[in-house]
């Protein structure tokens, strides 16, 4: 049994203690930290400014649980989906989404998901484990490299909207955002990071208490409890009143505007009455609203609303002086669009089958 410690679980202070206890100068810890978080080293052998002796010592007691690439798919619209493999054999997916104005990395926070939202392919999987902070940073680092190599442009945005519920992996998620935005890590602005939640009220309040400086998005999809509970089980324990209170608290603590994500489903939440309910709820905090085109998954329960419905829905909200963006699907042909991750990836299906048989 491998009892080595994942060295990326150590803070810089803890790593400094480890290094000085071995008789090394404290600055060596900063060098190692830089290799781990800025340069995304996957082995100690890459740390060429360390002595061979120190590298050997570290490799005896520690490991770097680094993601590897299982598969890549490129969409006709240039979206790239990456299947990452964890050190213990699980598959998670991340997506590079290029548009004319931004280059976005959509990353996962868990292997699978426990929330079972009715419209989401990832929700059909079971939750297998949380991702570490390092595994989340690995996704960003690799997708950033893809943007530079494939499209000769910098990564502009990061969204935690892939597999899993970030607020149910709070500690690791928070550390990953710190390392992405820290000069000791990837050095990206926290204002370029958006963490999306299905709605865990107490954890939204905790974000406020921690005074986070990244953006928060709430996957709403219905602005009355009856409908929302039909598609999102989490609403039974975190209803709209509870969420409203949590969002008001978050805004009071951080001063940040909230994004509401609203997927439109045909003949379910696509009427002007639904738009009116959304407009009323959205006034609880300064916000913007993303109206999202639905991406069908294999079960066929929900269907995509006609594009005219999306436009009419958005126009109604704009008439109410709300900030609205309509998000058209990207990467549908490789199942990389919103809600489709893990839909048809054979490696993930194999992972799920193995879990069920145990």
Return the active site residues.
Answer: 93, 338
Pairwise CA distance, residues 306 & 102, whole Å: 26
Give 3-state DSSP helix, strand, coil % of the chain, rounded to 5: 40, 20, 40
Q: Hey, what are 62's tokens?
A: 């520690």
How many other β-carbons are positioned within 10 Å of the β-carbon of residue 307? 12
Q: Hey, what are 152's tokens?
A: 């000769």
Under DSSP, is residue 74 helix (H, G, I), strand (E, B) or coil?
A: strand
Pairwise CA distance, residues 222 & 230, whole Å: 10
Q: How far is CA 133 from CA 7, 47, 125, 257, in A?
A: 12, 21, 22, 25
Strand pairing report for 215-219 and 258-264:
parallel
Q: Hey, what are 176's tokens?
A: 């990953």
Q: How far is CA 155 from CA 102, 104, 132, 186, 259, in A?
A: 8, 6, 22, 11, 21
What is the 8-class DSSP label of residue 304?
B
């Amino acid at each position: 049994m491998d009892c080595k410690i994942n060295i990326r679980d150590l803070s810089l202070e803890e790593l400094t203690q480890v290094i000085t206890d071995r008789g090394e100068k404290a600055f060596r810890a900063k060098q190692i930290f830089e290799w781990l978080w800025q340069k995304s080293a996957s082995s100690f052998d890459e740390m060429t400014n360390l002595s061979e002796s120190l590298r050997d010592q570290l490799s005896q007691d520690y490991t770097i649980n680094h993601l590897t690439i299982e598969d890549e798919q490129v969409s006709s619209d240039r979206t790239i989906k990456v299947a990452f493999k964890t050190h213990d054999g699980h598959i998670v997916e991340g997506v590079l989404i290029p548009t004319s104005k931004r280059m976005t990395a959509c990353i996962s926070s868990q292997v699978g998901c426990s929330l079972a939202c009715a419209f989401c392919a990832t929700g059909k999987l079971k939750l297998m484990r949380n991702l570490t902070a390092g595994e989340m940073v690995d996704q960003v680092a690799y997708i950033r490299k893809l943007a530079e190599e494939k499209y000769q442009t910098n990564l502009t945005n990061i969204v935690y909207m892939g597999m899993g519920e970030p607020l149910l992996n709070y500690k690791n998620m928070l550390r990953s955002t710190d390392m992405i935005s820290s000069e000791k890590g990837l050095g990206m602005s926290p204002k370029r990071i958006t963490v999306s939640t299905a709605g865990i009220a107490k954890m939204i309040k905790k974000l406020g208490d921690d005074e986070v400086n990244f953006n928060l998005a709430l996957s709403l999809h219905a602005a009355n409890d009856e409908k929302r509970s039909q598609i999102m089980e989490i609403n039974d324990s975190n209803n709209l009143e509870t969420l409203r209170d949590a969002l008001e608290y978050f805004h009071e603590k951080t001063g940040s505007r909230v994004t509401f994500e609203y997927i439109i489903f045909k003949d379910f939440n696509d009427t002007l009455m639904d738009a009116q309910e959304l407009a009323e709820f959205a006034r609880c905090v300064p916000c913007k609203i993303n109206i999202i085109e639905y991406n069908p998954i294999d079960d066929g329960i929900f269907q995509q609303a006609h594009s005219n419905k999306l436009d009419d829905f958005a126009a109604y909200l704009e008439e109410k002086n709300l900030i609205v963006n309509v998000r058209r699907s990207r990467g549908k042909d490789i199942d990389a669009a919103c809600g489709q991750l893990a839909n048809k990836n054979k490696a993930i299906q194999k992972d799920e089958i193995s879990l069920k048989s145990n």
